[in-house]
Structure 1
Amino acid sequence: MTVYNVNLGIGWASSGVEYAQAYRSKVFSRMQIPARFIFSDLILADNIEELTHNLGFKDQDIIWLYNFFTDVKIAPTTYTLDEFKHAQHFEKRNVKSSVQSFADGKQVVHYWLPDENLKINVRIYNLKTQAIDYAEYVVDSQMVRREFYSYIRYVTEYLSAGNHVYARDFYNEDGSIAYHQFINGNEEIFELKDQIFYSKTELYAEMIRRLHLTKTDLVILDREDGKGLVSGQLWYQMHVPAKLGVVVHAEHYDKHYTNQDNILWNNYYEYQFTHADQTDYFIVSTPAQKQVLKTQLASYQHQAPKVVAIPVGSLSKLMMMPYAKRQRHSLITASRLASEKHVDWLVKAVAEAKKSIPDVTLDIYGQGVQQKKLQKLIDSLKAQDCIKLKGQQDLATIYQHYAGYIAASTSEGFGLSLMEAVGSGLPMIGFDVPYGNQTFIEPDQNGYRLPYQSDWSEERKVHELADAIVKLFSDDQKAASFSQKSYELAKPYLDEKIAQKWQALVNEVTK
């Protein structure tokens, strides 16, 4: 029996979907249930192992579409510069070199081979071990080839004028070519030893066939249908005899375009909902969303599939810290720095609250496209002394040092950072919106769940947040009681409790 978890890509600043899978991986490991995590995006800027390992996945649990048809393992970057130089026979060639250092701790060694009119630029991934992960070949100022390394060279790209990739070779461990990829605009052809596939979707279908799914296997769709790929429909067509489930990670419909007769599903889930009769189970994160979805599927699709509520995250333990020992009047928020998270409202709210609470601070954790914009806003408000962008960090032992958690997101399917915050005993501030805040904020018990209307002005929304900050930090005794209540709310999310929910689902759908 194996649980296959389906996704697209992963990065250093991953979304809640990837973090949810990472939590699930740990739970399945605890339950000794074999689980594999499938990624289908082409990931070459970094070794995919570095990205998955960063979130706590085990290398042997990762299936990457692009090396599935090779015997290369998911493994750390260990191929050394000396190995590269030896493979290139530099000792027999006229080679000059220089080194360029970068702020991220990496170096690029530039090799110039004048007799061959060739430049080779090699990126050193790890200065201590001298491991490399990338090499590019330049002729007459035109990059003609790129190579990518983990413990061996695993792929070579070939480029034409304008740095357009027109082909790739994917290798086996012994250096032989496992398959070719040919690219012409949006068209892709994959040539294996004895098979040719005329699209990424066809290649993906072959991967599913080679998984040899059994009736005791489970397939869990987290994300599907990426660039040049239609995988969701494939799983519906090809999963039998395995069971098929869908995780709903976000708000699943748009209430503004929903009435008694029609519903506008979230387009990420529309195919799955319209094929609810072919879905063995849907997984949502909260009982509230479970009830809403069941009612809507019955009303609009005339279907009654199994819908279960299993939190997408869990807590290994409660991170205990007496409230009196925390940094006074300090706030934390953690999310992708994306527009829908409305972190700019938090910046403005803290700047406003500072007029009443002079020592208030806000630390913003996470990365994203809004980072520069947020820093400009902080600078324009002259709030650099009290509001700081802290980047992407492991927050497991950080939350409990703060005096409160604040969020301005107007919709969360669950809210992993909210769960982690209550697990560290933080008083909470957020809007009264589905589903995360309604799950983790009990009004006047562990924080403030603020009124919200989408058509309110930004000024009013900011003012609601600022007032809540002032209210929280004007009564230390009440804030301390909020902290204790958060710890109580977190107990049902401990690992063993969530493991029991997964075990019950696995037992039921595999019988």
Structure 2
Amino acid sequence: MNFFINRAMGIGNSGVEHAQFYRGELFDKAGIPYRYVFVELVRELHEAMDAWNLRNDQVINMWEYFVYGDKYLDHGPLYKQAVKSDMVIDSTNTNRMFTSQTSSGLTIIEHMVKFPDPKKPNMLLVSTARVEIFNAQTGKRMVMFEYDNEPHREFLLKSIHLFDFKGQHLYFENEVLLQKFFFEQLNAYYEGKNTFIIDRGEESEAALYKMRDLGIKIIELVHADHLSDRNDPKHPLWNNYYEYMLMHMDKVDRVVVATKLQREDLLVDFPNDTNKIVAIPVGGIRDKKPKAKVQKKNNGVFKFVSVSRLAEEKHIDLCVRAIAKLHEAGHKVSLDIYGQGETKNKLEEVILELSAGDYIKLKGHSNHVDQVYPQYDAFISGSFSEGFGLTYIEALNAALPILSFNARFGALELIHDGENGFLASFDRGNDDDSVEQLAKAGEKMLAANYSNLVRNARRSVSEFKDSVLAKKWGDLIDEL
């Protein structure tokens, strides 16, 4: 069996989850068995699965497994219940106990405590100290654990109890030991060659590296730039998310990156790992040739679109400011932004500040971006770092030229300046200059031969067909 290891998933997912979903489609095409494995306690997991058309027998959640046991691995939870929650508040108007019921049949009780704010000693905070998980159908308590508020790593799991798990009461001091036990159970249940494909989670890495003697295979996925900036000595060498893996390369069978450029860059530091480091894109295009793009005049307005999580590292605010500059210069342009996230309020403020509400709009989340792209003329991205840029592939396949910063690695590999889009330089410490450069690149796009951009956009992704990428994964799994 092949396990895609991740912390969690939700309704609005990051590129990591989208990459997993796409890999699942490729494995289906290649006839390779797999399961999505999530190790966080996700209350609305099954609602999210429904939104993304994932079946119960495709997904394994560590906590649901500890409640239901091995039978759960074949078909998921069989007991369903209505979702509800209740908060107990004490006489000081302080939250003390939060009870929630998941649709998958778990009852979760969170016990809360007051504690001093480490940053503001005179202030008290209220947070979860202990969690109990019950099988709602039987009423039996199956799991209990505590949180340790470690100053530099926020909340860590500790003192974890599994009650009556296969007739035993088990105790684990921390999450790494718990995950190791969990992965050992999966390895024992699914006989034959088991490959653990890690998309996210240092705890999962630490747990699986301890299991090498069981004959498992480990593949690590790198979804972003593994360096902050190779040419900037002010930044640390490794991206924190990949540091643990890069310091333990001997424990890994394969490292999969999304672009040839990133593979070449990793080989600078690991020149002897030419066979270990593999480039397989995390997104692709359908084998069936898409319909020809219908070009519309849109009343003379050139319509840009952005599809992204609304997160600081995506720098959507720079896109907003660049489009506003084009508008102020007299160009008929518009921008629709699809996505949700923590910077929504900030973006609303920027749009209001620029009086740009008539031509720049937040459109919210969409699960059907393939239907979104054809409505627009070009795609815009403000990211300074994209390991691949799944949305780049989607946009190019929809014949949308791309306006972006010349960030490693996805933009530099997928966008050919002046052919299928335009690239702008950026300065991490100077947003004004970055906006100016992005607007100048936008000027070039508006002045270019648009028909040629459209033609080149679709041609540029012909090597990313599903069947080609499915074969790459099939060959990789077979050779381990």
- Per-residue CA distance 1:288-320 (angstroms, 9 max, x = gap): 11111122112xxx6555111101112235543
Maintained 8 Å contact 2:79/2:137: no
Query: What count of residue pairs does the alignment treat as equivalent?
Result: 442
Residues 1:234 and 2:211 aligned together: no
- Find the counterpart in structure 2 of residue 150 from structure 1: 103
Judging changes above 3 Å, is the alpha-carbon distance between structure 1 residues 274 and 215 closer, same or farther for their aligned structure 2 residues?
A: farther
Maintained 8 Å contact 1:215/1:241: no
Q: Work out the percentage of aligned pairs sharing the same amino acid.
A: 28
Residues 1:198 and 2:173 aligned together: yes
The 5-angstrom pairing of residues 422-461 of structure 1 reads 422-454=396-428, 457-461=430-434
- Find the counterpart in structure 1 of residue 351 from structure 2: 378
Task: Pick the aligned partner of 1:306 from 271, 276, 286.
Answer: 276
Using the alignment, how far apart are the partners of 1:494 and 1:6 within structure 2?
Answer: 25
Residues 1:490 and 2:461 aligned together: yes
Maintained 8 Å contact 2:285/2:465: yes
Using the alignment, how far apart are the partners of 1:366 and 1:356 within structure 2?
Answer: 27
- Find the counterpart in structure 2 of residue 48 from structure 1: 45
Residues 1:218 and 2:215 aligned together: no
The 5-angstrom pairing of residues 43-442 of structure 1 reads 43-44=42-43, 47-71=44-68, 74=76, 79-80=81-82, 132-136=83-87, 144-152=97-105, 154-160=106-112, 164-172=127-135, 174-177=137-140, 179-183=142-146, 185-186=148-149, 187-193=158-164, 194=168, 195-212=170-187, 216-225=193-202, 230-239=203-212, 240-255=214-229, 264-298=237-271, 306-316=276-286, 317=288, 319-325=290-296, 327=298, 328-394=301-367, 395-442=369-416
- Find the counterpart in structure 1 of residue 37 from structure 2: 38
Matched to 1:490, the amino acid is V
Once the 2 structures are TM-superposed, how far is the Cα of residue 464 of structure 1 from its aligned partner?
Answer: 1.9
Using the alignment, how far apart are the partners of 2:297 and 2:255 within structure 1?
Answer: 40
- Find the counterpart in structure 2 of residue 470 from structure 1: 443
Match of 2:133, SS?
strand
- Per-residue CA distance 1:116-175 (angstroms, 9 max, x = gap): xxxxxxxxxxxxxxxx343445676665451313153x1230535656545444334742
Judging changes above 3 Å, is the alpha-carbon distance between structure 1 residues 451 and 295 closer, same or farther for their aligned structure 2 residues?
A: same
Residues 1:507 and 2:478 aligned together: yes
Matched to 1:237, the amino acid is K
Once the 2 structures are TM-superposed, how far is the Cα of residue 16 of structure 1 from its aligned partner?
Answer: 0.9
Maintained 8 Å contact 2:336/2:362: yes
Maintained 8 Å contact 1:331/1:406: yes
Judging changes above 3 Å, is the alpha-carbon distance between structure 1 residues 138 and 263 closer, same or farther for their aligned structure 2 residues?
A: closer
Judging changes above 3 Å, is the alpha-carbon distance between structure 1 residues 343 and 182 closer, same or farther for their aligned structure 2 residues?
A: closer
- Per-residue CA distance 1:460-487 (angstroms, 9 max, x = gap): 2212222232332245xx1121111111
Q: Structure 2, unaligned stretches of length 5 or more?
A: 115-125, 150-157
- Find the counterpart in structure 2 of residue 96 from structure 1: none
Judging changes above 3 Å, is the alpha-carbon distance between structure 1 residues 385 and 291 closer, same or farther for their aligned structure 2 residues?
A: same
Maintained 8 Å contact 1:249/1:285: yes
Judging changes above 3 Å, is the alpha-carbon distance between structure 1 residues 74 and 133 closer, same or farther for their aligned structure 2 residues?
A: farther
Once the 2 structures are TM-superposed, how far is the Cα of residue 76 of structure 1 from its aligned partner?
Answer: 10
Q: Which has the larger radius of gyration?
A: 1
Match of 1:354, SS?
helix
- Find the counterpart in structure 1 of residue 18 from structure 2: 19
Using the alignment, how far apart are the partners of 1:267 and 1:11 within structure 2?
Answer: 23
Matched to 1:399, the amino acid is Y
Once the 2 structures are TM-superposed, how far is the Cα of residue 57 of structure 1 from its aligned partner?
Answer: 3.0
TM-score, normalised to structure 2, is: 0.84
- Per-residue CA distance 1:166-202 (angstroms, 9 max, x = gap): 5444334742425130426453321321122233332
Matched to 1:38, the amino acid is V
Judging changes above 3 Å, is the alpha-carbon distance between structure 1 residues 492 and 133 closer, same or farther for their aligned structure 2 residues?
A: farther
Deviates more, 1:204-213 or 1:420-429: 204-213
- Per-residue CA distance 1:5-38 (angstroms, 9 max, x = gap): 1111223332111111111111112222111121
TM-score, normalised to structure 1, is: 0.80
Using the alignment, how far apart are the partners of 2:127 and 2:312 within structure 1?
Answer: 31
Using the alignment, how far apart are the partners of 2:161 and 2:447 within structure 1?
Answer: 64
